Amino acid sequence: MARNEEKAQSMLYRFREAQAAELGLGTRADRRPKMASACKSLRECERWRGEILRELSRKVSKIQDAGLTDYEVRDVNDEINKLMREKRHWENQIIALGGANYRRNVAMLDDDGKEVPGTKGYKYFGRAKDLPGVRELFQSKKQEQEEENQALSFYSKFMNQGPAYFGDLDEANGKLLEHEREAEEKEWTDEYTNVREILDLPIDDPIPDIPRGSGKDVEMDAADSVAPSSGGADSMRAHANAAAAYVGFLSPEDLMSPRLPTREEMEGVLLALRKQALVEEYFGE
């Protein structure tokens, strides 16, 4: 019995014990639990997460070895992904126990600020990116992203446009209505003169005004006459009043054009939503 105690206190035994703990080959009582949810101690969760990080560091260094075969590289890459999933489980348990949130990280980006392929789901490390089939996968993803960026750059000029792009504000200042009225008067004059020439009638007679009807048509004409001198809101209100005269069960408010938000207003709303999401994530609400 004394001999076993002496062996346990020897320098070689303690060195072997520390080496086995570093390699994750400790005793049964000192092994990492298979389920992170079974550990209820925050300190132990931090310890096991640190052990997984050390194992990941060794595996990532090992996968760079040029002497490994393709099969060994695939096995090491599978082990790294398995450790990454296990690390994620321990980080979730740490958050559940009230510890630090290690999951709040930034996506891996390249020099152009684009997300690196293979950073979601199954990942490839070191020499695994040069394996047969994997290289073509990365090239195809890069080509797809370039095609999507080209299409996005072409259609970007048609995106995020305000109501002015769709012509909803053309009649707001009344200039278009005034131009249409002048064109209408000119066309009426030309056609009236042309008809009198065909019928051999005197051309010097005064040209009558355009017949615009009576009753409800007169109300529409009055609404048109208000547009050039008034602002956009008054013009739309006048048109709504004239249209409501035709439809008895609708009020002018129901016929008013809806107000579309501008691009600046939409950006403000999206910014407020992002701030709220960050606050909820930070405070855990």
pTM reported for the whole predicted model: 0.44
- Torsion sign, CA atoms 72, 76, 81, 82: positive
> Which two three-digit tokens encode residue 50?
């640190």
* Phi, psi (rounded to 5 degrees) for 43: -65, -40
Per-residue model confidence as pLDDT tens for the chain (285 residues): 446 656 556 777 777 777 776 665 655 556 788 888 888 889 999 999 999 999 999 998 999 888 888 889 889 999 999 999 999 999 999 999 988 888 776 455 555 545 555 456 788 888 888 888 887 777 777 777 788 888 888 888 777 777 777 777 777 777 888 888 889 888 988 888 888 888 877 777 788 888 765 444 444 444 444 444 445 567 777 877 877 777 767 788 877 877 778 888 888 999 999 998 888 887 764
Alpha-carbon distance of 51 to 32, in angstroms, equals 9
Collapsing DSSP to helix, strand or coil, 214 comes out as: coil
Radius of gyration of the chain (CA): 38
Give the whole-angstrom CA distance, residue 31 versus residue 8: 19
Domains of the chain from N-terminus onward: 32-157 (1.10.287.660), 175-263 (no CATH)
The angle formed by the CA atoms of residues 152, 153 and 154, to the nearest 5 degrees, is 90
